[in-house]
Amino acid sequence: MSTVTTTKPSTPAASPAAGPRPPAEDRIGLRANLRHIGALARRNALQIKQDPESMFDVLFMPIIFTLLFVFVFGGAISGKGNQGEYVNYVVPGLMAMMGMNIAMGVGTGVNDDFKKGVMDRFRSMPIARSSVLIAKIVVELGRMMVAISILLGMGFLLGLSIKSSVLDLFLAIGLSAVFGASLMWIFILLGLTMKTAQAVQGMAMLVLMPLQFGSSIFAPPTTMPGWLQSFTDVNPLSNLADAARGLINGTPLGNSVWITLAWSVGLTAVTMPLAVRKFRQKT
């Protein structure tokens, strides 16, 4: 007499490599999202504490740039012995330049984090993908504020004078931060798209050089050829430099503030969703 044994079909075991899948981003509430951003921002800040050399660019770049441009270009533009006048011209422009240079470092940092496997840790965590990128921008904005503080300190030592009000000075700083944050999304997208950090840095320099030197940051556009003046007029860095200069020196602002805000909103609206989408695809 034979016996028939029946076995239940075995369920496939979960792959050990596949971690728990994070919930959809739209299921994460605002409070939880803010908590995730705060925790990740603290993590990034602790990384800076463990690697203080990463702050060298923020600490020394404002000092070197201020001394270099004031004493190299100041006499040629404002006349020999009138570097003090040039300080009030170039320091507000350098505030615009700080945001762009720091934004470049965000892109290379994101790219490097993927190479080191740091982003793999976030893959299985129940957090919104956007919180990882926003936390990076929060920390970089803090670095930017340090750079601008040192820049203004150097400016005051060289004769910078606030001809409007302290409130206008803070408005100029805030405007620089808003525009700097919009640039960070561009470089984050580059960091997520390019294969290496060197490629990100090379592409960033191709963008930075014409924008910085083809602007009103270092010299009045009136001395430039007509075709370059046309580029300078539409250059967002020129509008930011003119806005910061007008706020600090108490000169007419025109539409420079609103144009800078429009550029900031437009750049963020276009590049932020693209960067978050690219980040989701890579993680």
pLDDT tens, the chain, 283 aa long = 444 444 444 444 444 444 444 455 556 667 777 787 888 888 878 878 887 787 888 889 899 989 988 888 776 676 666 677 889 999 999 998 888 888 888 888 888 777 776 666 666 666 777 788 888 899 999 999 999 999 999 999 998 989 888 999 999 999 999 999 999 999 999 988 888 888 888 888 888 888 888 898 988 888 888 888 899 989 999 999 999 999 999 988 889 999 999 999 999 999 999 998 888 887 6
**How much is the pLDDT for 244?**
94
**Residue 173 in domain:** yes
Of the candidates 239, 205, 209, 204, which has an alpha carbon nearest to the alpha carbon of residue 95? Answer: 239
**Residue 86 in domain:** yes
Domain that holds residue 124: 28-282
The tally of domains found in the chain comes to 1
**Residue 6 in domain:** no
Quick one: 84 exposed, middle or buried, by C-beta within 10 A (0-12, 13-18, 19+)? middle
**Residue 20 in domain:** no
Residue 42, both tokens: 């603290």
**How much is the pLDDT for 81?**
61
**How much is the pLDDT for 13?**
44
Q: What is the CA radius of gyration of the chain?
A: 24
Give DSSP secondary structure letters for 11-44.
Answer: PPPPPTT--PPPPPGGGS-HHHHHHHHHHHHHHH
How far is Cα 182 from Cα 283, in angstroms, rounded to an integer? 23
**Residue 123 in domain:** yes
**How much is the pLDDT for 19?**
44
**How much is the pLDDT for 259?**
94
**Residue 4 in domain:** no
**Residue 243 in domain:** yes
**How much is the pLDDT for 82?**
65
How far is Cα 277 from Cα 112, in angstroms, rounded to an integer? 19
User: Do the beta carbons of residue 126 and residue 35 sit within 8 Å?
Assistant: no
**How much is the pLDDT for 104?**
82
Task: Assign 78 to helix, strand or coil.
Answer: helix
**How much is the pLDDT for 283?**
64
Task: Assign 221 to helix, strand or coil.
Answer: helix
Which residue pairs, CB below 8 angstroms and at least 24 apart, start in 194-203? 194/107, 194/111, 196/111, 196/115, 197/108, 197/111, 197/112, 197/115, 200/104, 200/107, 200/108, 200/111, 201/104, 201/108
**Residues 6+ away with beta carbon under 8 Å from 163:** 88, 248, 249, 250
Number of other residues whose CB lies within 10 A of the CB of residue 203 = 17
**Residue 21 in domain:** no
Give buried/exposed letters for 93-120 (b at 16+ CB in 10 A, else e).
bbbbbbbbbbbbbbbbbbbebbeeeebe
Give the relative orientation of helices 30-50 and 129-157 as an angle to the nearest 10 degrees: 50
